[in-house]
Amino acid sequence: DDPDPAVHLPAARAWSRYETGCSYLVPPAGVEDGAAGALALARIEAHYFARRMFLPENHVLANFGQVRARPATIVQGRYDMICPAATADELARAWPDARYVVVPDAGHSAMEPPIRSALVEATEAMKEHLG
């Protein structure tokens, strides 16, 4: 959180490049954020990560009974390095009525075409389900 742009901007850009590299199976060319976008991403993520996302350990699964009866689709990129498949597998086991889609040629980002397609398909299916 250094106030000197000569210090925090290179760090923020490095953070953004790392995040992009982890989010995509094949990072697209020219996706690097400008200074403002990189700085915002780094600050927000660092704030949340330093506070463990404001959730106690295992909070989602420990309180899962509140949402288990609701319809859902879990979309998981096979090569997701941010939320590994093991976490989605665990969620799917706890939520047997949810539809579980593993996208074989994708990482984490909703901007990857295969993930985006799976999310659109899941949204359309939910629209049909809800009438």
DSSP secondary structure letters along 60-76: HHHTGGGTTTS--EEEE
The Cβ-side half-sphere exposure at 85, using a 13 Å CA radius, reads 11
Domain boundary among 54, 69, 92: 54
Does residue 31 sit in the same domain as residue 86?
A: no
Contacts of 103 by beta carbon, 8 Å cutoff, 6+ apart: 75, 76, 77, 78, 114, 115, 118
Q: What is the pLDDT of residue 99?
A: 97
> ∠ CA 71-98-108 to the nearest 5 degrees?
110
Does residue 10 sit in the same domain as residue 42?
A: yes
Question: One digit per residue, pLDDT tens: the chain, 131 residues?
Answer: 678 889 999 999 999 889 888 999 988 876 666 788 889 989 999 999 999 999 999 898 888 888 888 999 999 999 999 999 999 999 999 999 999 999 999 999 999 999 999 999 999 999 999 98
Count of domains forming the chain: 2
- Give the Cα separation of 60 and 12 in Å (integer): 30
